[in-house]
Amino acid sequence: MNLVLFDLDNTLLAGDSDFEWAQFLISRGLVDQEIYEARNLEFYENYKAGTLDIHAFLDFQLAPLARHPRQELDALHREFMNERVEPMITPAARALVRSHLDSGALVAIVTATNSFVTGPIARAFGIAHLVATVPAQQDGRFTGLPRGTPAFQGGKISRVDAWLESMGLYLGSFETSHFYSDSHNDLPLLEKVSDPVAVDPDDTLRAHAQQRGWPVISLR
């Protein structure tokens, strides 16, 4: 069996669901535009630069979830999927995912974006397994805090290892292990798999991929 892991934002999606969710909340008047938009842009630039403080970002990202009941959030997410996410899913991305699923590989999305935002996106791709940052819940409501290790940078390795262990597997269980990503933030996990693939990569990852002889593809 082969293992195939996909980063989500700017890899399978032609855009960033994390950033777009914040912009969507602004568009609905659910957060203060002036303050929230500036912070959202600041965190996004820090992510691209590789300087993101993931814990400060999660404090920012998860706080709005704690202010609303789950039923209301789920309804908002359905609108978000239609308005913001579906236009970011390209035919090439769908075809690549389908080819790996049809091959019988074990396929998962591995993303730093929280599982509330990304769960429905994974299902839209037909991917059953999601390794994401987990927003903590209590009595059916989000607390505004993360649970466990964020799936970011080296944390992706820890979370993938724990997911595989839960099924009695480990990275060496597979004939091949692929990881598709656009970001230099994912270099720790890209270095761990047998077949790393750079997808529409940022400049740092592109240079690294070219130096290492990794495939570079586009899904746009």
Q: What is the pLDDT of residue 36?
A: 84
Token readout for 163 is 């997911």
User: Which strand (E) or helix (H) includes residue 32?
Assistant: none
Q: Is 7 a catalytic residue?
A: yes
Token readout for 101 is 């699923």
Q: Are 157 and 189 spatial neighbours (Cβ–Cβ below 8 Å)?
A: yes
- The 8 Å CB, 24+ separation contacts for 190-195 are 190/214, 192/157, 193/3, 193/5
Q: Is 9 a catalytic residue?
A: yes
d(CA 34, CA 40) in angstroms, rounded, equals 10
As a dihedral over the C-alpha atoms of residue 154, residue 158, residue 161, residue 167, rounded to 10 degrees, the angle is -140
- Looking at 9, 18, 182, 202, which residue is catalytic? 9
> pLDDT-derived band of residue 98, with 50, 70 and 90 as boundaries?
very high
Domains in the chain: boundaries: 3-217
As a dihedral over the C-alpha atoms of residue 44, residue 141, residue 28, residue 45, rounded to 10 degrees, the angle is 0
Write out pLDDT tens, residues 128-182.
999 999 999 999 899 999 999 999 999 999 999 999 999 999 999 999 999 999 9
Q: What is the pLDDT of residue 37?
A: 83
Q: What is the pLDDT of residue 13?
A: 98
Average pLDDT over residues 28-44: 86
Average pLDDT over residues 64-70: 92
132 φ/ψ angles, rounded to the nearest 5 degrees: -140, 165
pLDDT above 70 covers what percent of the chain?
100
Q: What is the pLDDT of residue 83?
A: 97
Average pLDDT over residues 74-84: 97
d(CA 157, CA 171) in angstroms, rounded, equals 10
Fold classification of 3-217 (topology level): Rossmann fold (3.40.50)
Asked whether residue 5 carries a pLDDT value surpassing 90, the answer given is yes
- Angle, helices 33-49/17-27, rounded to nearest 10 degrees: 170
d(CA 59, CA 145) in angstroms, rounded, equals 7
Token readout for 87 is 């236009």
- Looking at 7, 16, 186, 202, which residue is catalytic? 7
Q: What is the pLDDT of residue 33?
A: 83
Token readout for 55 is 């814990």
